[in-house]
Structures are given as structure tokens and as C-alpha cells.
Structure 1
Amino acid sequence: MKAVIMAGGKGSRLRPLTKRIPKPMLQLLDRPAMEYIVELLAMHDFNDITMTVCYMADVIRDYFSNGKDWGVRIHYQDEIVPLGTAGGVKALQHQLQETFVVMSGDALTDFNLSQAMETHRRYGGIATLLLTSINCPLGYGVVDVGEDGRIQNFIEKPKTWVEGNSYLVNTGIYIFEPEIFQYIPAQQPFDFGRELFPMLLQLKLPLYGFEATGYWSDVGTLQQYYQTQIDMIHGRVHVNLPIELASVF
């Protein structure tokens, strides 16, 4: 199965850590953040991976090479001009002719991708968004889902929220059918959350949400970067830990 890892961002909110290293290559404990994503994909049989790269792409390419050390095949798509999340994936249309998953290279998760794929196939929609429940949705896309799993509303980065409520938010992990490319313009910036998903809802196309269980952290700020590693040390996420920590759990 095929997967795309978006790894082209500069990580400006994580400066100065990202001044000399791309955001997906920041260390989470003993190895780069994106290595955990590659391991998760391999675990769930997504063994054909393309990384979209831009900022300091050679650092990523030199580390992962062709992917054989992880039992996968890794390809690279260079973004000379940033095209946004959806625009960058559109450039891969020719090689994504079957169901595929898209993930960010700078998040940490242990979601069951096999279960998510089974649910996507059962829904039969053009896209399934993996969702998680949080108390403060600022900075995320908030999703309303009906009893049948179909997304009814999508609000990208709401400006208000109610303390004490829980919200289903977009984790930036998507399962797509290749028909999705019909709705993404070529060679121009286009974003999944701000543009594509609201458009699909307006067109009344079958867009579904899957509330995943497990750990997910958007490693987008310095505070979250350090908190994620604390969570790892305390065993809150199921990933391959350094030997000295793994023996504790």
C-alpha cells in the first residue's frame, strides 16, 4: 500500500531548533520524529512511501535513503515552489492510482492505520479524515460527524471555543481515493483544511471521519516538542523506545 509523508515545512514555530535541521528530523528521544512515522507505516503494511520535501531536503534524503533499513521503499518529491498540503500531493497524481494515506512527518502517533483503512473501505467515501478528541481546538480543524460517520461540518482553526467541551479535530492523517485529484488544481497552492475539505462538503461528496483511539501529538511548538518526549518517557505512546527506556515499560 502507498503512503505520502508531507515533510517540506520549515518549522518556524520551532526555531531555533529548526534553524539547521528540518522539522521532521528533530530528535524525539533517540531518533528523528519522522522515523516513528515510517515505522508506523511499515507496521501496517504501507511499504511504498513518498516524502514531499523542500526545506533542507538533503538532510532527509541522506538519512532515509531508499528506505530499505525500515523494510519499505522510499521515494522523494521535491517542492521547488511550496504548493500547500493538497497542492504538494497533487504533484504525485501519476503514481497514486489506488487508495493511499497521507500523513505529516512532524507528528507522533500510534493510531491503528489498518483499522482506519478498513473503516474507510466500509464507508466507501472519497476521503476519510482521522480525528481525535481534545478540549482546546485552537489551531486545529474542528469536525462535526453524523452517526453514519459522514462529516457534516468542517471549521478550519476556529477563533472561539467553550471551556469544558471536547472537540473532534483533524489530525492531518487522511485516507484518499485517487478520485480526490479531480478536485485539486494543478501547479498552484491549495490546502486540505482551508480549501479542499470545505469544497467537498459544499459539493456534497462523501467525506467521512474516523475517531481514532491512541496517542497523537502535533509537534508544532517548543512546548509540545518537549511535552511529547515526556509522554514518550512515561509510556503514553506505543512506539519503539530506546532500550534503556523500553526495559522500564
Structure 2
Amino acid sequence: MDALDLGRIIKAYDVRGVVPDELSPTAARAIGQAFARVVAVPEGASRVVIGRDMRDSGPELVAAFADGVRSAGVDVVLIGQCSTDGLYFASGRLDAPGAMFTASHNPARYNGIKLCRAGARPVGQDSGLAEVRRVAQELLDAGGAGGPDGPASDAVTGNLTEQDLLGDYAAFLRSLVDLSGIRPLKVVVDAGNGMAGLTAPAVLGTATGLAELPVELVPMYFELDGSFPNHEANPLEPANLLDLQAAVVAQEADLGLAFDGDADRCFVVDERGAAVSPSAVTALVGLREVEREKAAGRTATVIHNLITSRSVPDLLGAAEAEVVRTRVGHSFIKAEMAAHDAVFGGEHSAHYYFRDFWFADTGMLAALHVLGALGSQPHPASALAEMYTPYSASGEINSTVADAGATAERVREVYHEAYPDAVVDTLDGLTVAHWDGLHPQWWFNLRASNTEPLLRLNVEAADEDIMIKVRDDVLSLVREEDAT
């Protein structure tokens, strides 16, 4: 039987594949051994911490990965079921490299691994993941991880222990945002049968022995079930928010929160059942963190990716923050967070990063900030969101194309000729901005998918009519059948 091709499942940011055809226990063991050799041992780490989500394939894959780590003489600490930000917390608190077994919102047949260095520092394509893949592939090709126990030369020598950190995780998040003085709020939380079913009652409720908050928690789909029987655990898709939106209105709740499968992303629904833009959440949370820094006499830096709303740099810049624009993708934003000692970072995909959380992303901490902002003033969530949503946006629109590069170049040429005063940059794909001091105000970004023959379009404008025109004009160029 031919060796597994790890290039199919180890991508730019993490490991993701179908179990067991692509991500098998044998592959997991090889990746664990490679991770120990490439990351843990060179850093002088004595242990690796491992968590997993609710997928049925998790325990077997975790056991194999742990054996691989231990065969390199490195100890393993198992923290059991947790959210991805729970694993980051463990990595930071224990100062140990970590591995989170999750496929986030992917269907049940998938699983994956998110890897980090000690202190929750990212492991991506340019920060160790490519080397992990190379070493793991060599082990597989040489038969070094061919069986569940490996060959005699790979005898397990590291120790294995278990530790429950859920209560510490909840207490730590609660220590960062004081909700004790907010007005009473009724909040519907849709866990999508993912890990928020464990973390939401731990953080927002009294499940871990913390003091009761003035928050009435209305649970939706809290049963941990990796088959996702109710809807996909991907709130980025509007269809997956419908149940929450209906429940918020029916319950006359103040707010709705939706989490993805591994609960590292958080989406917000206002009291009318309308989805709140993640860019608005980025601006809201960012301003809270900036004000906290200013009160401490420090200048705040905030990171945002290039497809967040222009309201983010507008509002944060007006609040005297240093604002840094970066590429899409958590490895890029985490690197910029650390490089600039940024207090906060946000992505339009609803990933939110905090300096006080080891520069890592945590949807639950962002949710606490939203509750704090809402509960500290009398207005409804819709009025609060409106303050941070001054422009009209298209959302992300995907188009299948034969040649993403050639298509983007065609669009660039057309817009350069039609709008010579527009600013063009290629930080991440193609961005054309007719904004600063120009009228009408609009910008768009075209980015190629890393894994599919797609171009992703995001458009924003000062009003809806302009946004619709730019959106439709760019899409007509992108989807033009005859490029000649």
C-alpha cells in the first residue's frame, strides 16, 4: 500500500482531511512525532498539550498523535474536550506547545489539527508547518510510523497525564471583562452542537462555580454532537443563523450569539434577529480595548485584515489608536499582533485576537466584550450595531474561474483605465480603493482561494446603490466567459 500523501491534508494553516482515508491514526502518529521533533524539542519544551472537539474520530486520533509525541521523548498533557481557544489558553497557561483536534465547521467525516508553539504562538506554512509535513512524510515513507505502535526504535518514552482546565479557562476570561455591573440581559446562544455547548455555560453561567452574572442564558443545540444534526456549525453561512434569529425574536431576547464547531469564532444577532457585521464587532471591541489602554497611559495598536469595513480604521484612528492593516489569515494577523504588541485584532470572518490572550483568537472573550458594551448602556443591540456600521457591504461572493490570476489582472486593467485616481494594491489579492478624498466612495478586494479555483469578492461603498453597482460591474468582469 502506498504511503499517505500528507500534502493533501497539511495546508497553509492547519491539518484538515477526511477520516480515515486522508487523516488516519497512522498519519496522526507521524505528525505527532514530527511536531515533537520540529517544534517541541528545539524549543526545549518538556511537554505538549492536546485537546479535541466533539467529533467521534477525535479520541483515536489524539491517542495516535500523543504516541508520536511521546516516542520523541516528550511528555503529553491531555485536556480532553475543549474549544480551540481553550487549547490556546492551555498552551499559554502551561507554556507548552499544543495541538487541537478539530475540523471546525467541516462535516462529520472530517477532522483536523491546529498546532501552536508554547504561548499559543502560531504554527503555519512559514513558521514550522511545512517542516512538520516534510518530517512526517519522511517517517511515513520510511515506515517509521507505519503501525499504531510504531517500530521498536520509536518506543514510547514520554509520560502521559490528564488535566481539566475548563474552570481555569472560564475564570481567566471572566477576569478580563467585568460584567457584574451590567443591566440584566437575556441572551440566546446557538452552539450548533459544537464546543460552545461546553464553554458557554462554563463562562456565562455557573457550571464551573463562578459567580452568577446578570445574564439569562437561553441554550440552543448545546448537546455535543459531531454529526451536527441541526445545522452546520458555520455561522458565516446565513442559512445557519436562521434558527438563532427566530429564537431571539420569539424569546424577546436582547442578543443572540452563534459559535462555530470549535467555538473560536463568535457571530452576533441583534434583538430584531438581524446579523451584526463582524466588522462592527471588531470596531466595538477594538474601541473598548483602546480606551482601556489610553486609561493606562499607553498608546494602543489594533490590527485588522484588509476585508474588514473601512469603519474599523476610521473609528479606531479617530480614537488615537495605531491601526495596522494585514492579510487575511490567522497566521498573518497573529504575527502582526506580536510584532506590534497590539492590544486587539479583528477579522471579518469573526476571528478576534487579544494581547491579553497570548495574541490568540477567542470568540468567547469577544462575546464578553459585546455583552459588556450592550449591558453598560440602555439602548438595544440594533442601535449599538448601527453606530459601527456606516457603510454598505456586499459580503463575500465566490466565483469559479479557470485562471484566478489572469481574471484578477483583467479586472485591474479595466479599473485602472476607468478610475486612474483609484489606489491599487496587492497586499492580499487585488484591492482597488476609490475612497480617501474621492467621490463616490467604494473599494473592492479580489482574493484567490488557497484550495479551490475560486475568486472571492468583497465590496464596500458609502451607500448601497454604489455598492451594488461596483459589485455587479466587478462580477460581470470576473464571470465573463470570453476574456478575449
- TM-score (ref. length: structure 1): 0.31
| Bigger helix share | 2
| Bigger strand share | 1
Question: Taking CA–CA contacts closer than 8 Å with sequence separation of 6 or more, which of the two structures ends up with the larger relative contact order?
Answer: 1
- TM-score (ref. length: structure 2): 0.19
Structure with max Cα Rg = 2
